[in-house]
Amino acid sequence: MIGYRRAEGRPRARSTIAAVLALGTIFPVFPQESMAELNERYSFPVSVGAMYRDLQAFGGFPSGFSFREIGAELRVPLTNLSTVQPFVRAGTLSVLQAGSAGGSQFDHSQMWGALGLGYSTRFSRNFEIGIDAGGGIFQTAFPNLSPGTTVGELGYLAEAGARIGLVPSYNLSVDLRPAIRYSRSLGLLDDFDGLYFGLGFAVSWRFGQDPDAAAAAVRALRLETQKLAPAFAAMQSYYSTRPFAQVALVNGENTELRDIEVSFFQPGYMDAPTPSATLNSLAPRGRTEIGLLAAFNQEVFRTEGTVPLAGEVIVRYRYRGRPVEQRLPVSYELLDRTAITWDDDRKVGAFITPADSALRNYGSFVATSLRAETLPQLNQAMQAAAQVYSSLGSFGLTYQADPSSPFVRAQAGAISVDSVSLARATLARGTGDCDDLTVLFASILESMGHETGFITVPGHIYLAVNTKIPARDFREIHPDRSMTIVQGDRLWIPVEITLVGKQPFADAWRRGAELWKLYDTNPDKRGFYTTAAAQTVYRPVGLRETDLGLQYGSRSDLTAAFRPELIRLGDFALTELAAQTAKGNDVREWNSLGIAYAKFGRTKEAESAFTRALRIDASFTSAQVNLGNLAYLQKDYRRALASWQGAVRALDTQGKGRSTSAQMILVNMSLAYNALSDFSQARTIFERAAEIDPARVRDFAYLASVGAGSGSTGRAAEQSSSVLFLREE
């Protein structure tokens, strides 16, 4: 805008107005359409511009000054009402004083910024008019008031004005801007406070595409297929990085298309379009295959059954140098979160949901109910699997084949759609087929901190649990190597979960191993997948967690159900081992049998086995130490210490006082002293053990600080039963 303090400036203002009016004769200003239609068609876009104006004061301060201002402006129209545009302006005002020779010299300046609101309406394609109002602050700078320093003050301003705009193209406008401005200083330098009239012009660049441009009507691309394959809600995370459908784009023009960007959008189920592919070019009449990615939001998990959807393939490209956007409709069906196809067995990992609070609560109920029945020396993963299996059986869970789409038929044809229930749904319902029960069992065990996997054979899927025992130590789990599966040098226990509620855990274990062995000669027909690996590709489905409100039963009933399971599990693991030991009659085998008995809590049988070993070789220190371990497990700590002290003396005599066996005995002794609350002796003995090999006793490092604080003592109390059994000296 331009305004004037000096009389000689007024002709310049008149010439500016004349120039603008002359431009108005070039462009038609009489409307061919209504203003509403024009405003909708030529919707005001985001714009940036530069302004210039001269100001003329209405009086009230010293004469002989002129005011010239330059600034910049950003306008952002309201999304649903583009005729209204909030704006931001900033600029600088220079104040000049007339000199004695008729020239002008710089007096002072203002730096200002303002916020405001504008309204614009179109009268024709090339002419618009508007009004603006706003306010802001300024900072003055007077360099000549005080020698050597610049004096300045803050102030505020308010202004209102009009805009008379010529729009020679959609992206360019030239405005004449008359305005009234009020300015006031917040300090003592108030000589220039008052009302000003300004007249100036602005040039603005507007972003966006001209709706009348030829590019706006370009439709070079078409889809060969508008009907897509179904999408599965359970695969939500998978689709964000891997295509859920393939489409063929065809260039129907004789011109090459360049800088092609393809995205997919599904209203209601996506927050924004998902970029799917970029291409440098597509030849005239060319064709290309595109995989569509889809970052679905949580709404997909709220669907039930099959929902028909219509989405958009959005393609942006350059046609003869012009930007073009096409939106191509596609249709498909969205299947709810229970649906799956078995083209990739790993997909079942998406249904395993250990983070579900209902499952965590159930797993916690099982663990706390059976805490007194848990054997500290027995493999924890195996015990947890047996406990969950037993609890689900006592809870009334049973296997029931899905009559509509059983796993056997679905797996035989990968295009068949099967249904897999989420673990919480199976737990609430109380029945499920093989995939439902596998998902439930794995989800609960994972929520308890145990690593699981799943096994697929023709027509069936069942569970496996990682014992974390090295493969070479298979006898710690079962004397028959084939009763476990080796994956990653760790032993896994297979469990035929469909026997839950019908047969003991030991039978389910045996049956799982038999199914695995059935395909030893044709291993391509069986598959083993860890849950963790499967979920790197197929992450668990999203859940809106709610309390299931289930009654799990009494803890005493759960204990009564688990005790016979543990006995049968011990028989399953120990009977064959005992027969092999009696047949071989080797001192080390009797010692190993005693350890196995001790792990299952069979103290009498363990004592008998260790005693038998000592009868064969009275100097076999390991058996003597393990007898002390039995005394410890029975809380007879002083008898345990006497046994261990004798073993340590024997090893010292043999020159083995710093052997691995000696170190293990010292750790046991430290545990016993801790149990007797003799913390000083417990620390001293442990320090002796740590001197031999600190790394080997890292798990027992808390013994070095027992008695020094409640935390270390509490931890020692929790692990006081973790004595170390010796297999060989």
Residue position matching structure tokens 């990653």: 488
**If one looks up domain 214-337 in CATH, what number appears?**
2.60.40.2550
Q: Which of 168-172, 265-269, 409-413 has the highest mean pLDDT?
A: 265-269
pLDDT of 225 reads: 79
| Position 663 pLDDT exceeds 50 | yes
- Spatial separation of the C-alpha atoms in residues 160 and 119, rounded to whole Å: 12
pLDDT of 191 reads: 84
- Spatial separation of the C-alpha atoms in residues 496 and 441, rounded to whole Å: 11
- Spatial separation of the C-alpha atoms in residues 192 and 185, rounded to whole Å: 8
pLDDT of 19 reads: 46
| Position 465 pLDDT exceeds 60 | yes
The pLDDT of 22-36, averaged and rounded, is 52
The pLDDT of 391-401, averaged and rounded, is 89
- Spatial separation of the C-alpha atoms in residues 45 and 176, rounded to whole Å: 19
- Spatial separation of the C-alpha atoms in residues 384 and 390, rounded to whole Å: 10
The pLDDT of 9-15, averaged and rounded, is 44
The pLDDT of 74-94, averaged and rounded, is 93
The pLDDT of 289-305, averaged and rounded, is 91
Sequence ranges of the chain with CATH classification 1.25.40.10: 585-718
pLDDT in tens, 492-547: 999 999 999 999 999 999 999 999 999 999 999 999 999 999 999 999 887 766 76
- Spatial separation of the C-alpha atoms in residues 570 and 565, rounded to whole Å: 9
- Count the neighbouring beta carbons within 10 Å of the beta carbon of residue 259: 12
pLDDT of 115 reads: 97
pLDDT of 180 reads: 95
- Greater model confidence, 717 or 640: 640
pLDDT in tens, 468-500: 999 999 988 999 999 999 999 999 999 999 999
Contact indicator for 430, 455 with CB cutoff of 8 Å? no
The size of the chain, in residues, is 729
For residue 249, which of 219, 225, 278 has the smallest C-alpha distance?
225
The pLDDT of 648-667, averaged and rounded, is 88
Fold of 344-537: C8orf32 fold (3.10.620)
Sequence ranges of the chain with CATH classification 2.40.160.20: 7-206
pLDDT in tens, 324-370: 899 999 999 999 988 888 889 999 999 999 998 889 999 999 999 99
Sequence ranges of the chain with CATH classification 2.60.40.2550: 214-337
pLDDT in tens, 147-179: 778 788 999 999 999 999 999 988 999 999 999
Q: Confirm whether pTM is higher than 0.75.
A: no
| Lowest model confidence (mean pLDDT) among 76-85, 360-369, 545-554, 662-671 | 545-554
| Position 262 pLDDT exceeds 50 | yes
- Spatial separation of the C-alpha atoms in residues 47 and 207, rounded to whole Å: 6
For residue 440, which of 393, 404, 370 has the smallest C-alpha distance?
393
Could you say which architecture CATH assigns to the domain 7-206? Beta Barrel (2.40)
Could you say which architecture CATH assigns to the domain 585-718? Alpha Horseshoe (1.25)
pLDDT in tens, 593-605: 999 999 998 999 9
> Which residues lie below 8 Å from residue 523, measured CB to CB, with a gap of 6+?
none
The pLDDT of 653-679, averaged and rounded, is 90
- Spatial separation of the C-alpha atoms in residues 273 and 280, rounded to whole Å: 20
